Structure 1
Amino acid sequence: MILPPFLKPHDKVGLISTSSFTEDRYIQEAVRILESWHLKPVLGKTIGARHGSMAGPDRLRKQDLQDMLDRDDIKAIFQTTGGYGIVRIIDQVDFSHFKYKPKWVVGYSDTTFLHNHLQGQLSTGSIHGTMAADLEAGYHATSWESLRKALFGEDLHYTIQPHPLNRLGTSSGMLVGGTVSILCNAKGTMSEVNSNGKILFLEEVGEKHFRLDSYLVSLKHAGKFDYVRGLIVGELVEMEDDDPPFGKTPEEIVMDAVKEYDFPVSFGFKAGHGEVNKALILGALVHLKVNDQGTTISFET
């Protein structure tokens, strides 16, 4: 797996919206944050564009991503929001130039499609991290500072408190994953996650309990847990129980899906659609240790 070059002060970085539309005030606030890191933000053509719920029609969103991938002066690409849209364009994007001159792609949620494509098809790392649209809920220093550390190649490691559903153990492997529903929807496509021999990260937002269960069962039937070396469970937020109740919490649903395996499982990591979204370097070698004192996650970059 190849990790793109880490950023340096005065590097140019692109901001694009290849999924849903993002309000300008959050874009401008993100620009100020990146400038405070001594970076030079460049706005893509999708910034300010709108076509229904998406940031412009498919052809514009595809071309904006293509341009940022191909520009040698752009050293990282920041997705401004999730939502929906990448799946409509990703099979039209030409990654041939990017393959030989990779750069960081940052985002989460709908960006899971792109992350999986980069890891699975191009063996290139990327960053699951906070986006401009998250600033609607306010600036969270933990999220943005962890992203800065990841992008500039500083030491990145996390400690998580013990969780009653944790399965103890120690393991290492390359990190992959993202939003559960998108991992499920990507099955059978070029953007399908390859979890064999990997540490898998999962998070989700706004799903009913039975749907979360159906996604996980589908991933299980597709063999996505068979050769996993470890599981990190991030935020499972705004989940809705059923009527009558499903009978399990979201965390219990996850554990039920992987109960027959023996790899370590860690719950409670603050990444995903929650208030705090700590950065994860997908494609990097990760060391996962889960014991009675809690969990440690450390990256080799």
Structure 2
Amino acid sequence: MLYPKALQQGDTIAVIAPAGPVDKERLDKGVSFLKEKGLYVELGKHVKAVHGYLAGRDEERLADFHQMVADPMIKGIIFARGGYGAGRIAADIDYELIRANPKIIWGYSDITYLHTAVRQQTGLVTFHGPMPASDIASEEFDALSAKGFDQLFRETELCYREEISPLQVLNGGVATGPLVGGNLSLIISTLGTRYEIDTRGKLLFIEDIDEVPYRIDGMLNQLKLAGKLEHAAGIVVGDFAKAVPKKEPSLSLQEVFEHYFGKLTCPVMSGFKIGHCYPHIAIPLGAKATLNTYQKTLHVEAGVRR
């Protein structure tokens, strides 16, 4: 794997919007938080652009990304929000440029598409974490979520235990491998493309929001039929916010998980507060991790190097 360099106080980071349009007031609030971390913030030229449900046209969002990757003064790129649209620029990204200029890339939700594409094309470790114009700007943004940004400044191993949230064992065991994945619906959208997620020997992390049980059932079934579940070394189930049936009768989310995960030979554990939730624990994707259902822990190695 290729690791980005840790940040230092006084470094400059970029905030750009590769997906949906941002709320300007929320963006300002999120940027203020990043500045309080001792960072200078440079906004992308088109970060406040609006093109329907996109933050500017594809070529504009792509140009902002390439500019910040190429600029040696920019030490990290934090995406303003998710929404929709990151996958539209994936085929035109200059992955050799990223490989030649490895730096911190941070975001989640729709950004899952870019995490997967960038990691599999370049080997770069990227970060799944709360974003300035969505999570950070929320009144619910808490101290534990904020603390996740500290891992960008020094080599920090994450050890997730039940002190953070109750964890449920769906299948017992211990497994080690690179931690990959993100938003379930975005993982599904990579299937059949050149950026199709590779789960072989990996710990597959999944989360989502506003998806009812039958929709999650359908997505997990697609992963199963594509061989992505059986090839995974282990499965880390994050937060599935608002995953409640809108009509009855319905299977519960727990019943859906038990159907797809209960018969696997790899360890599976759910309950991780990673995703569209608070706290939102930030994790480095691509970093080596160990899932241990007997100790109920998830250990993830540091995502930056000095």
User: What's the TM-score once normalised by structure 2's chain length?
Assistant: 0.92
- What's the CA shift for 1:200? 0.8
Residue equivalent to 2:207: 203
- Distance, in Å, in 2 between the alignment partners of 1:136 and 1:116 is 26
Tell me whether 22-31 or 150-159 shows the greater mean CA deviation: 150-159
- What's the CA shift for 1:118? 1.5
SS in 1 for 2:149: helix
Q: Kindly tell me: are residues 164 and 125 of structure 1, through their superposed partners in 2, closer, same or farther at Cα, counting changes over 3 Å?
A: closer
Structure 2 counterparts to residues 1-301 of structure 1, below 5 A: 1-132=1-132, 133-138=134-139, 139-160=141-162, 161-247=165-251, 249-291=252-294, 294-300=296-302
SS in 2 for 1:72: coil
- Distance, in Å, in 2 between the alignment partners of 1:45 and 1:212 is 37
Contact kept in structure 2, 1:79 and 1:107, CA below 8 Å? yes
- Distance, in Å, in 2 between the alignment partners of 1:178 and 1:151 is 23
Contact kept in structure 1, 2:159 and 2:297, CA below 8 Å? no
Contact kept in structure 2, 1:173 and 1:229, CA below 8 Å? yes
Task: Among all aligned residue pairs of Structure 1 and Structure 2, give the percentage whose two residues are the same amino acid.
Answer: 31
Contact kept in structure 1, 2:168 and 2:271, CA below 8 Å? no
AA matched with 1:254: F
RMSD across aligned positions (CA): 1.7
- Distance, in Å, in 1 between the alignment partners of 2:275 and 2:168 is 21
AA matched with 2:260: A
Cα-to-partner distance string for 1:67-94 (whole Å, 9 max, x where unaligned): 1122121111101111101111111111
AA matched with 1:173: G
- Distance, in Å, in 2 between the alignment partners of 1:272 and 1:193 is 18
AA matched with 1:281: P
Contact kept in structure 1, 2:18 and 2:86, CA below 8 Å? yes
- Distance, in Å, in 2 between the alignment partners of 1:212 and 1:151 is 36
Contact kept in structure 1, 2:86 and 2:111, CA below 8 Å? yes
Cα-to-partner distance string for 1:244-292 (whole Å, 9 max, x where unaligned): 3222x2233123212221111111100101122110100101122112x
Cα-to-partner distance string for 1:182-216 (whole Å, 9 max, x where unaligned): 10111021322111000110001111211111111
- What's the CA shift for 1:35? 1.5
AA matched with 1:147: F
Unpaired segments ≥5 residues, structure 2: none
User: What's the TM-score once normalised by structure 1's chain length?
Assistant: 0.94
AA matched with 1:288: L
- Distance, in Å, in 1 between the alignment partners of 2:293 and 2:152 is 22
Contact kept in structure 2, 1:209 and 1:242, CA below 8 Å? no
Contact kept in structure 2, 1:237 and 1:273, CA below 8 Å? yes
- Distance, in Å, in 1 between the alignment partners of 2:103 and 2:185 is 26
Runs of 4+ in 1 over 3 A off after TM superposition: 161-166
Unpaired segments ≥5 residues, structure 1: none
Q: Kindly tell me: are residues 77 and 251 of structure 1, through their superposed partners in 2, closer, same or farther at Cα, counting changes over 3 Å?
A: farther
